[in-house]
Amino acid sequence: MSEQKMMLAGRISKFSELLQRENQNRKDLSLSTTPGDKDLSLSTLTALEKALLAGETHYTVRPGIPELRRRIAVAIQARGGMIPDAKDPADNVLITTSESEALFVILLGLGLESGEILTQTPSSCRHQALLGLRGLRLETEWGSAARAIYRPIHLSETDHARLLRCALESDLPDILDLSADWSSELPRCDLRRTLIIGNLNGIKGLSLFRVGYLMAPRALIARCRPWKQAFSICTAAPSQRVAVLRLTEEGS
Amino acid sequence: MKTPVPSAGERATQARYQLMQLAAEMEDVVRLGAGDPDLHTPGEIVKEAVRLMGRGKGQITEQGLDKLREAISEQLADERELDYAAETNVLITNGAQEALFLSMLALVDPGDRVLVQDPRYSSYDQAVEAAGGKIVAIPPRGRHDFCLDPDELVARAGSARVLVFVNPNNPTAALHPPDLVRSIARIADQHDLVVLSDEVYDKLTFDSAEVLSIAQCERMRERTVVLSSFSKTYAMTGFRVGYLAGPAHFIQAVTRLKQAISGPCPLFSQYAALAALTESGQGRGRILETFAGRRRIMLQGLDSLGIPYGAPGGGFFIWADISKFGRPAHDFCLELLREARVLMFPGTAFGEHWKDFVRISILEPEERLEEGIKRLGRFTAGSSEVTSE
């Protein structure tokens, strides 16, 4: 064993060790190269350069550029999803670097740990490692240790309805994961408890800029926002600016 | 649905943001609060990042661009004589803040004790809290000497797991001399502590001060994790690029966490960081020169007002003692903002005991700093000084 392994082996947190071991046994989860299209039009790249040279190189406001948040809120509402409860729809959205970071700040902001997350098909959840970090495990049947509901967008209408009913009956947070889906009609949400997470990877040219989001009732956003600030302050300003430019181009 | 009560760390962070919010609603405020340089990112960095984005390969990994990690590895070798292999010892993060948070999650188990210098940046509290650890604050050496006190460290080191060592320090700007760094290293080694060395401000030092990374000390490379960023040195806060350099086993663990929590960093930001290291030696020099001039003005101003402060060796903050004005720091800052339109942060935003201190940043042009000092002078002239017996 090398000197460096002796020093820090045993100093790594128990969860990290577990994550390491699990990954060693699961080839499909090995670290991977993320390909993406970076085919921005010349006009978008030029507009980005212009914005940066004009000084958009600083931290943005912590929840994200208001124009971007507003566009996301309006787009989600237009898909039949959540109706903003804030006077400015931007206040219902938090910009993150990915939908997994959005889930992470939900877990911290709502204090979700040590229990069960109710879902339809646990094996299809892309966030099992993240949930495990907080001592949460996915279950298909309601139990007294349930902390929240997790609904990936691809579920059937019946499954969405069943899970949402559980959230309502048990007064639990309802997490709806859109991942990169930017166009499907959305299942029913609850205005007090649904937290929608997703990313903009499905929009041409954006996947390598890493923009995610959380849309939720204003009171829940207020709980999650400090943890986004604590984790990475704000999402990269150039990424947010490009997202605004692309959404403007798309007319969404 | 039940939601948790905000923690002390979260409340301290919010205290700063509330003052910034109040200042944002006012006009003509001299902003000596936040840590975001007013200088824009040098144009050559922006242009090179755009050029690379137009030509580079369209893929990213959680660990970061190979070329960026290689450039960081070379810089650590050239400037600090540290041997970190790009492929196994370096991880690119979304700023130093994410690096800090992931490190805590990788090192701390519930109940573990984490030693942190006091006063401290409150995000440490939140990161330790998220990992289930417990902060143990270490008082500084003296009333106006904010270097870490080795005796106080020894007194608290038993059963602790991690030491967070911030050099140069935020908020106090204390720069630890090499001999003191070596003493701290020996204690860390004797007590089997892992050291998280926050070196975000190590390239912003003044008066030709010598900087020694604790990772350079004997037997320390294998128990130290170096944390740094591009935000302050190159005025690149908005790009959110930082990095961790440390033992391979640790980097591997943090990379797995990053994969689960946030994924790869934006390609464009990584290109900008690469451009900073390869193209912008002059840009870095200009930024340092600008801050050195501003620091002189602020220190002269505080001297003229008879306000004591800790020796600022690096970074762009000054930790000033306002006890003679007889008001708790939060009230002082709120009144200063409302009455004189000068924004500073109260010491209590960096630890509950620091009601006699304020953090002043020098991130305004020189003429605005002079204006800020004038306003501070007028404001404090109206305050009755408290004399000690």
Rounded mean pLDDT of A58-75?
A: 96
Q: Distance between CA A188 and CA A209 in Å, rounded?
A: 30
Q: Is the pLDDT of residue B321 over 70?
A: yes
Partner residue opposite A97 with nearest CB, options B49, B130, B262: B262
Per DSSP, A82 falls in state: P
Between CA A205 and CA B21 the distance in angstroms is 34
pLDDT range class, residue A28, cuts 50, 70, 90 = very low
Helix residue spans in B231-280 (DSSP H): 248-261, 267-279
Inter-chain touch A12–B106, beta carbons under 8 Å: yes
Q: What is the pLDDT of residue B173?
A: 97
Contacts with B247 from chain A: Cβ below 8 Å: 4-5, 7-8
For chain A, what percent of residues have pLDDT higher than 70? 88
User: What mean pLDDT do residues A151-176 have?
Assistant: 95
Encode pLDDT of A17-27 as tens digits: 777 776 665 44
Supply the ipTM of this predicted assembly. Answer: 0.92
Whether residue A5 is predicted with pLDDT greater than 70 in this model: the reply is no
Helix (H) or strand (E) holding A94: strand A93-96
Contact status, residue B70 vs residue B86, Cβ threshold 8 Å: yes
Q: Which residues of B, range 188-227, sit inside 8 Å of A by Cβ?
A: 194, 221-223
The dotted CATH code for A66-250 is 3.40.640.10
Distance in Å, alpha carbon of A210 to nearest chain B alpha carbon: 5
Could you read off the pLDDT of B28-51 as tens digits, one per residue?
999 999 888 899 999 999 999 999
A234, B260, B316, B346, B371 from B361: Cα distances, Å: 20, 36, 6, 12, 14
Sheet containing A136-139, strands listed edge to edge, beginning at the edge strand earlier in sequence: A93-96, A212-215, A194-199, A174-179, A146-152, A115-118, A136-139
Please compute, for residue B142, the number of CA atoms within 13 A of its CA located in the half-sphere on the CB side: 6
DSSP state of A188: P
Q: Do B255 and A236 touch (CB under 8 A)?
A: no
CB atoms < 10 A from the CB of B57, how many? 11
pLDDT-derived band of residue B389, with 50, 70 and 90 as boundaries?
Answer: very low
The answer to whether the beta carbons of residues B363 and B38 sit under 8 Å apart is: yes
**Mean model confidence pLDDT for chain A:** 88
CB distance A233–B63 less than 8 Å? no
- Contact at CB, A19 and B253, closer than 8 angstroms: yes
pLDDT over threshold 80, residue A30: no
**Residue B94 pLDDT exceeds 60:** yes
- What's the average model confidence in pLDDT over B155-166? 95
Residues 6+ apart with CB under 8 A from A66: A88, A90
A82: pLDDT confidence band, cut at 50, 70 and 90?
A: confident
Query: B16 pairs with which residues across the strands?
Result: none
Q: Do B62 and A31 touch (CB under 8 A)?
A: yes
Identity (one letter) of the amino acid at B142?
G
Q: Where do the DSSP E strands lie in A200-245?
A: 212-215
Query: In this predicted structure, what is the pLDDT of residue B286?
Result: 87
Partner-chain contact A38 B53, CB within 8 Å:
yes
Domains and CATH numbers, chain B: 8-40+283-380 (3.90.1150.10), 56-279 (3.40.640.10)
CA of A179 to nearest chain B CA: how many angstroms apart?
13
B292-300 average pLDDT score? 96
Band of the pLDDT at A42, cuts 50, 70, 90?
Answer: confident
Chain A, nearest residue to B260 by Cα = A130
Q: Which of A4, A65, A125 to mutate to test the interface with B (most CBs of B within 10 A)?
A: A4
pLDDT at residue B22, as a whole number: 93
Amino acid of residue A162: R
What are phi and psi for residue A184, nearest 5 degrees?
A: -65, 155
Among A30-34, A138-142, B236-240, where is mean pLDDT lowest? A30-34
Helices (H), A118-207: 128-133, 157-170
Pick from A192, A217, A176, A228: which is nearest to A91 by CA? A217
Q: So where are chain A's domains?
A: 3-53, 66-250
For residue range B229-253, what is the model confidence (pLDDT) as tens digits?
999 999 999 999 999 999 999 999 9
